[in-house]
Amino acid sequence: MRITAIRECTIPVSRYSDPAIASGGLTTSLVAVTTDVVRNGKPVVGYGYASIGRFGQGGLIRERFAPRLLIATDRDLADDSGTNLDPLRAWNVMMAGEKPGGHGERCVAVGTLDMALWDAAAKIAGLPLYRFLAEKLGREVPDAPRVAVYAGGGYRYPNDDLTRLSDEIRRCVDLGFTHAKIKIASDPLDQDLRRIDAAARQLTSAGHLAVDAMNRFDLESGLTAARALAGYRLHWFEDICDPLDFATQAEIASAYGGAIAAGEALFSYAEAALLARHGGLSPSRDVLVFDPVHCYGVSGYLRIVETMTAAGWARGAFWPHGGHLFSLHLCAALGLGGAEVTPFAFAPFAGLADGLQVVQGQTGVPQGPGIGFEANPAIWRAFQALH
């Protein structure tokens, strides 16, 4: 059981369905991991990408983590039967010699490769990823699981913002979403409130709308925003301040009183423990939006789930960030609350696999072997360019 090749490239991704709108130069890394296992006359290849929001990690992938996988022995990579990859063992190979702390964005490089390893292993097993992962962890899952989802997006438009935001949320509702999330905190508060009003009008109520401050508030501005937002009874208020400023978050959370979402910009179980201990969050009310790819992949994410459940959180509180098919599988396998989907942003990774529809805020999970990238033409074209 060997990995024979790893290919990587970095591509631009946009926060908007129209990539001509300036989007901060965001990128993401794509990887293809080729194994020595042959199915239907071809080697099995697993695909992964670096989620969205943290930029590509090509240097770390090529120079540090891919070489460790390429020189690993069968014993390092194979499961007990010797007939399939064991992604948990492969994760240990990638992390060999890494020092504690210093998470930086190496976690994203590892998570990108980890996604591809799980895709390959599930394909070798002939199973959709959610079923392969559940069996590996000894969990039972339905034959055709449904996952609650919300529409992520709602970035500020440079022109006609309120009109275009309203149109975006209305299109999300037309696609079957019942809940959506928009961005705030890049404009004065009165404009943020107008954005909330415009988006909420397209939904059943403001209770179906979440807002994401993208970690921009300090204590004073965050308290001002919390007081203004409290009356809306929003679905949740996400990423309020610097992700490691737990004291500020705790004070704003106390003043706000509604549901807070946090964790997107935290990357390890140690940081999750600090959030649980000092972040002022309530397991009975609040939401955890850790991104599995940005948290060192499945192995790291499982440790975060263990850390937070030990601190009193239910699995239903986890709503993975990222808007990708990988998270749908993890939600189904691990019994999580639900996942973000980005219907229009971050092409080619926007939307779902062909054949999946959102019905009353829920969607299915791809049923082909692996993650199911092959069932989304735009995603599949991007990965095929690696070859």
181 is catalytic: no
Q: 235, 294, 321, 329: which one is catalytic? A: 321
* pLDDT reported for residue 323: 87
Residue 115 identity: M
Is the same domain home to 182 and 236? yes
Is the same domain home to 193 and 307? yes
Is the same domain home to 153 and 24? no
User: Known binding site for Mg(2+): residues?
Assistant: 212, 238, 264
**Domain count along the chain:** 2
42 is catalytic: no
> Do 92 and 111 contact (CB within 8 A), yes or no?
no
Is the same domain home to 112 and 153? no
* pLDDT reported for residue 255: 97
- Nearest CA among 52, 53, 37, 46 for reference residue 8: 46
Is the same domain home to 260 and 363? yes
> Do 364 and 144 contact (CB within 8 A), yes or no?
yes
Q: CA triplet 252, 257, 260: central angle to 5 degrees?
A: 70
Residue 140 lies in a domain: no
Is the same domain home to 191 and 287? yes
* pLDDT reported for residue 20: 87
User: Known binding site: residues?
Assistant: 212, 238, 264
pTM of whole model > 0.85?
yes
Q: What is the DSSP letter of 128?
A: B
* pLDDT reported for residue 142: 93
Residue 196 lies in a domain: yes
Q: For the chain, list residues with pLDDT below 70.
A: none
Is the same domain home to 320 and 362? yes
Q: 103, 179, 183, 329: which one is catalytic? A: 183
Is the same domain home to 105 and 171? no
Is the same domain home to 49 and 79? yes
Please name the residue that has the structure tokens 């609650």: 148
Domain with 197 in it: what CATH number? 3.20.20.120
Residue 136 lies in a domain: no
Among 126, 155, 179, the domain boundary falls at: 126
- Nearest CA among 110, 131, 106 for reference residue 33: 110
Residue 134 lies in a domain: no
Range of the domain at 39: 3-126
Domain with 50 in it: what CATH number? 3.30.390.10
Residue 133 lies in a domain: no
Residues in the chain: 387
Among 126, 161, 180, the domain boundary falls at: 126
Is the same domain home to 155 and 196? yes
Is the same domain home to 74 and 178? no
Residue 371 lies in a domain: yes
Residue 132 lies in a domain: no
* pLDDT reported for residue 1: 86
Residue 185 lies in a domain: yes
Among 98, 126, 154, the domain boundary falls at: 126
Cα–Cα dist 331/318, whole Å? 8
Is the same domain home to 89 and 190? no
